[in-house]
Amino acid sequence: MTTASDIMHRGAQWIPAHETLDRAAQLMRELNVGALPISDQNERLCGILTDRDIVIGCVAMGHDPAKVTAGEMAHGTPRWIEANADVGDVLREMRDHQIRRLPVIENKRLVGMISEADLAQHLTEEQIADFAHSVYAPGTTR
């Protein structure tokens, strides 16, 4: 059985909710990623911040990324998956919630991230088409 742990990128890092978006952008550049999980003071997942969130939700709105925090950009209920979850569970979670990146948690700690590209490497062509149709349906921006 292929698990979330088998397909994730290891070494994912949190951005604390109190950190500013300019620091988040710097960390994204350093790590060469487009998204960071946001953690509360107890290192619990409270959201996901994307490079698009910074541009659309902050800069394009005329706000200063040095004054807006990652926590202010955290909206909705964050989604995640246990490290031992089956790849089918990963697919369902990402498809059903129309998300393109999924944090992987083990023993209540962040251990990795799964991107749509990571997932696609472990799906049939039919599953990839179904996933793409559901996540990239008109009007989705996640």
- Residue 141 belongs to some domain of the structure: no
Q: Tell me the two tokens of residue 3.
A: 């698990």
- Residue 142 belongs to some domain of the structure: no
Residue 122 clears pLDDT 80, i.e. is over it: no
pLDDT tens readout for residues 41-58 = 888 899 999 999 999 999
73 by Cβ neighbours in 10 Å (0-12 / 13-18 / 19+) ranks as buried
Q: Which domain range does residue 22 map to?
A: 4-135
pLDDT tens readout for residues 77-116 = 889 999 999 988 998 898 888 888 999 999 988 999 998 8
- Residue 130 belongs to some domain of the structure: yes
Q: Tell me the two tokens of residue 1.
A: 């059985």
- Residue 140 belongs to some domain of the structure: no
Whole-Å CA distances, 89 to 16, 21, 35: 27, 32, 21
Rounded Cα distance, 97 and 91, in Å: 10
pLDDT given at position 138? 61
Name residue 40's amino acid: D
pLDDT given at position 11? 81
β-pair type (109-115, 101-106): antiparallel
CATH number (domain holding residue 25): 3.10.580.10
pTM, rounded to two decimals: 0.81
- Residue 122 belongs to some domain of the structure: yes
- Residue 60 belongs to some domain of the structure: yes
Q: Please state at what angle helix 87-96 crosses helix 125-135, rounded to 10 degrees.
A: 30
87, 75, 73, 66: which is closest to 6 by C-alpha?
Answer: 87
Looking at the 3D structure of the chain, how many domains does it have?
1
Residue 16 clears pLDDT 80, i.e. is over it: yes
pLDDT band at residue 124 using 50, 70 and 90 as cut-offs: confident
- Residue 49 belongs to some domain of the structure: yes
